[in-house]
A = this chain, B = another copy of it.
């Protein structure tokens, strides 16, 4: 989806490709960086794209299914990690600070009493979802509220790209169900160890997710999938991705959970995919099936399985360099460099 803010009437995709090919390098020799430059230029409708400001929004919520023992970590870790994000002590903070990316934290529905902190953006849909193994994770009105919260998060025209991270004990289970019901992928391919389940824990998680799948058989709409199995952080992320695409921003998609949110956003609005850069292959087992189903190939493969937007952050410098290639590199003509003999 293209930016609606500027007049780019003279822009064409063939001009963009010509600009990339005319830079002082053998054609194609910057590989995926050239593809990324093309994507960024196409979204911004310019041969001199801007890629200077990026923001990470970490969205946290709890999952009722965690009470069925689908995670190696206890549910209170979600709230503890929210405080860690706010104190700047998490991996995402350390990466974001290093890379010059602003971080904000959204409480979408962490279990227990609401966390009080002046920097926390409160968009609580509830104190965690219901246990989707037994009943719908949320109501239709909660889903709509979450989508709207996501669409209406404060944003700035100065942002060129947005990263989304998540925190929520149990949310690989929610993402697995979204991948299963929305993309038609088998649970056995998607289910993984999350934060570090052992073999017995993985078998329990797998059995539970099959039970949850059978609770609502048949083909479901994206609305239904999110209502039945979504997390509040995932649905807010879907809304925020849709708004970012409408606003013409690049969306840097993190790992397994964020890719499930991206799949839902694409189901609502197929054109939003043109704004998405898939950052990395997660080490969470099911992620490669999700990206295959979406027909995308992530940039990095570093064995990350943390979430929080950490993988998206590590891809941000690649977007910056791709834009710099277009804006700052000389052409064969301008630099007086000979082409192939």
Chain A contact residues, CB within 8 Å of chain B = 23-33, 71-74, 76-77, 80-81, 83-84, 87-91, 93-95, 97-99, 195-196, 283, 299-306, 310, 313-314, 317-318, 320-321, 324-325, 327-330, 334-341
List B contacts of A302 (CB < 8 A): 31-33, 299, 318
Q: Are the CB atoms of A24 and B91 closer together than 8 Å?
A: yes
A321 and B329 within 8 A (CB): no
Determine whether the beta carbon of B32 is less than 8 Å from that of A90. Answer: no
Does B95 lie within 8 Å of A321, measured CB to CB?
yes
Q: Judging by beta carbons under 8 Å apart, are B338 and A306 in contact? A: no
B contact residues around A321 at 8 Å (CB): 94-95, 98-99, 313-314
Q: Is the CB of A89 within 8 A of B330?
A: yes
Docked-complex contact B329 and A94, CB < 8 angstroms: yes
Does A26 lie within 8 Å of B195, measured CB to CB?
yes
For the complex, what is the distance from the CA of A330 to the CA of B308, rounded to whole Å?
15
Q: What's the Cα separation between A340 and B72 when bound, in Å?
A: 5
With both beta carbons as reference points, the residue of chain B lying nearest to A193 in the complex is identified as: B26
CA distance A26 to B313 in the complex (A): 18
Q: Report how far A145 CA is from B71 CA in the complex, Å.
A: 61
Number of this chain's copies in the assembly equals: 2
Do A328 and B94 touch (CB < 8 A)? Answer: yes
Known contacts A89-B329, A91-B329; 16 further A-B pairs (Cβ under 8 A): A24-B90, A30-B310, A31-B305, A32-B303, A32-B304, A73-B338, A80-B336, A80-B337, A81-B337, A84-B330, A89-B334, A90-B330, A91-B325, A93-B328, A95-B325, A302-B318
Report chain B residues within 8 Å CB of A339: 73
A-B contact pairs, 21 of them (CB 8 A): A25-B306, A26-B196, A30-B91, A30-B303, A30-B306, A31-B283, A73-B340, A73-B341, A80-B335, A80-B337, A81-B337, A84-B335, A89-B328, A89-B329, A95-B321, A97-B324, A98-B317, A98-B320, A98-B321, A98-B324, A99-B321
Docked Cα-Cα span, A328 to B91, in Å, equals 8
CB distance from A337 to the nearest CB of B (A): 4
Contact B94 A325 (CB under 8 A): yes
The list of the 4 closest CB pairs from A to B, nearest first, reads A31-B303, A89-B330, A94-B328, A29-B306
Please measure, in the bound complex, the distance between the C-alpha atom of A84 and the C-alpha atom of B330, giving whole angstroms. 8
Contact of A328 among B71, B97, B304 (CB under 8 A): B97
**Hey, which chain B residues are within 8 Å of A89, CB to CB?**
24, 328-330, 334-335
From A74, A76, A91, A328, residue with most partner B Cβ within 10 Å = A91
CB-based nearest B residue for A302: B32
State in angstroms the CA–CA spacing of A329 and B97 once bound together. 11
By beta carbon, the residue of chain B nearest A99 is B317
Contact B23 A91 (CB under 8 A): yes
The answer on a CB contact under 8 Å between B83 and A26 is: no
